[in-house]
Amino acid sequence: MADLHFELVTPERLLRSEDVHMVVVPGTEGDFGVLAGHAPVMSTIRNGELAVYRTAGAEPERIAIEGGFAEVNEKGLTVLAEKADVPA
C-alpha cells in the first residue's frame, strides 16, 4: 500500500513533510488514525500528542502539539498546529 503523505505545519514554519505509514491524530472528539487512502476529514485537534508511525509496527514518534486542526484530503494529511514540539 502506498504511504501516507504527512505534513505538519506551524505558523512559524513547515516542520514535517514526509511519507509515513500511519499517523494518530488527537481530535477534539477522540483520537483517530490516518492511513493512506483515508476518506476526506476535517477535524479540530486538542492539545495532545501526534503519533507518527514511519512503518507498520515501528515504534511511533510522538510530537506534542497544541491547538489547530487536521485536514485529510486526497493528497494526504495536513496538520496545522499552533505549537509543536519537535525533538531535534
Site residues (vs other proteins, CB under 8 A):
7, 9-14, 27-29, 39-44, 68-69, 71, 73-74, 78, 80, 82
Nearest-angstrom CA–CA distance, 66 and 58: 25
Nearer to other proteins, 9 or 64 (CB): 9
Q: How far is the CB of 15 from other proteins (least distance, A)?
A: 10
CA quadruple 43, 47, 51, 52: dihedral sign: positive
Residue 6: burial class (beta carbons within 10 Å; 0-12, 13-18, 19+): buried
Residue closer to other proteins, measured from CB, 12 or 59: 12
Minimum Å gap between C-beta 37 and other proteins is 12
